[in-house]
Amino acid sequence: MALEESISEEAAEELARNETPARRSGLSEFWYYFSENRGAVAGLVVFALLVLVAILAPLLAPHDPNIQFDNAQLLPPAWTSGGEWRFFLGTDAVGRDIFSRLIYGSRFSLFIGIVVVAIALLGGVTVGLIAGYVRGWLDTLIMRIMDVILAFPSLLLALVLVAVLGPGLVNAMIAIAIVLQPHFVRLTRAAVIGEIDREYVISARVAGASPFYLMTRTLLPNCLGPVIVQAALSFSNAILDAAALGFLGMGAQPPTPEWGTMLAESREFILKAWWAVTFPGLAILVTVLAINLMGDGLRDALDPKLKRS
C-alpha cells in the first residue's frame, strides 16, 4: 500500500547505513560526568594517596609504630618549640611516633572499610534481590526486620552487638556491617522492583531464563548503580563507626595504631598535648571527607536522572 510506495528497498538500506552510533561508551561517559565534579576528583586523588600510603607504609614510616622511645613521651610536633625533627608530628604518652602510627593506621581504616562494605554489600544485595524478586510474605518479613534494625541508632546497635560478641576489631567490623546492611537491602529491593517489569526482563523470561539467572544475570547488573554509590558512602561510615567504637574501647584494642583507638588513648592528655588527639582526628576527617566527595561524584555519574544531555 502507501507504505510500499513511499519507500523503496534501497532507500531503506540507505537509512540503515546513516543510523550512526553517536553516544559515548560506558566508561568514558562515566569519567565525563565524574570529572565534571571537582570535589569528586579531589576526593579521588586523596583516596588514591591514602591507598598508596597504606600499601607503602613500611617504606614511608620513619619508625616502627609500636616502639616506645625513652625520654620522648608527649613531645610536641617538630615545628613547635621543644619538638624534634625525628618525630614529625610529635609522640604520644608512651613515646611512640604519632606520624608513623597514623601511616600504619591508614591500613586499618582501609581494611575496615573494605571488609565492612564487602560483608554489608554481599549480604544486603543478596537479601534485597530475593525480597524484590519474590515479593509476598517473604518480602514483608525481610523488610520489617530491616526496619527494626534501622530503628536503632546505628552506633548504639553496634555497641550492643560488640558487647555480645566481645570487643575487638573483627567483631566491631561484623557489628558495623550488620548495622549498614539494611541500606543495601532497601536500595537493591527498590531497584529490582523498578526493573522487574521492564521488557528486557520479560524477554529473558520468554527466552527461558530461570529465576536464579534472572536475578543474577539480568536484574543485578542493572540495579548496581545506586548500590555502588551506597557502597562508597558506607565505606566512610564504616571507618567513622569503627573509629567511634575504637574510641569507646570496643573496637581495635591497644596497642593497635587504629585512629579511633589512638584518640581514646590520648584523651586524658587532651589539654596537655593537643597534637596527640588532633592528628588522628584530622586523619579521620580528611579520609571520610574525601570518600564522601568521591561518593557524591559517583552518584552524579551513575544516576541517569541527573544526567544532562
- Report which residue type is found at 236: S
The Cα–Cα gap between 180 and 117 comes to 8
Site for other proteins in 13-42 (CB under 8 A): 13, 15-16, 19, 21-23, 25-26
For position 11 contacting other proteins by CB under 8 A, the verdict is: yes
For position 12 contacting other proteins by CB under 8 A, the verdict is: yes
For position 207 contacting other proteins by CB under 8 A, the verdict is: yes
Question: What nine digits make up the cell of 10?
Answer: 534501497
**Burial profile 202-230: b = 16 or more Cβ within 10 angstroms, e = fewer:** eebeeeeeeeeebbeebbbeebebbbebb
For position 6 contacting other proteins by CB under 8 A, the verdict is: yes
**Burial profile 6-26: b = 16 or more Cβ within 10 angstroms, e = fewer:** eeeeeeeeeeeeeeeeeeeee
Shortest approach of other proteins to residue 8 CB, angstroms?
9
Among 100, 3, 25, residue whose Cα is nearest residue 57: 100
For position 10 contacting other proteins by CB under 8 A, the verdict is: no
Pick the closer one to other proteins by CB: 10 or 70: 10
Shortest approach of other proteins to residue 123 CB, angstroms?
23
For position 3 contacting other proteins by CB under 8 A, the verdict is: yes
In this chain, which of 32, 200, 272, 306 binds other proteins, going by CB under 8 A?
Answer: 200
Pick the closer one to other proteins by CB: 22 or 59: 22
For position 208 contacting other proteins by CB under 8 A, the verdict is: yes
Pick the closer one to other proteins by CB: 151 or 207: 207
Among 274, 238, 231, 273, residue whose Cα is nearest residue 258: 238
For position 94 contacting other proteins by CB under 8 A, the verdict is: no
Pick the closer one to other proteins by CB: 58 or 208: 208
The Cα–Cα gap between 26 and 131 comes to 29
For position 135 contacting other proteins by CB under 8 A, the verdict is: no
> Segment near other proteins (CB under 8 A), from 169-177, 205-213, 258-266, 282-290?
205-213
Among 19, 24, 98, residue whose Cα is nearest residue 65: 98
Site for other proteins in 213-232 (CB under 8 A): 213, 218, 221-222
Number of residues this chain uses to bind other proteins (CB under 8 A): 34
Binding mask 180-199 for other proteins (x = CB under 8 A): ------------------xx
- Helix (H) / strand (E) containing 71: none
Q: What is the largest CA-CA distance in the chain?
A: 100
In this chain, which of 42, 204, 228, 248 binds other proteins, going by CB under 8 A?
Answer: 204
Shortest approach of other proteins to residue 222 CB, angstroms?
6
Q: Determine how many CB atoms are found less than 10 A away from the CB of residue 71.
A: 6
In this chain, which of 69, 190, 205, 269 binds other proteins, going by CB under 8 A?
Answer: 205
Q: 62, 86 in Cβ contact below 8 A?
A: yes
- 278-284: long-range contacts at Cβ-Cβ below 8 A with a sequence spacing of 24 or more? 279/89, 279/90, 279/98, 279/99, 279/102, 280/98, 280/102, 280/105, 283/102, 283/105, 283/106, 283/109, 283/259, 284/109, 284/239, 284/240, 284/243, 284/259, 284/260
Chain residues that interact with other proteins, rule: CB under 8 A: 1-4, 6-7, 9, 11-13, 15-16, 19, 21-23, 25-26, 198-200, 202-210, 213, 218, 221-222
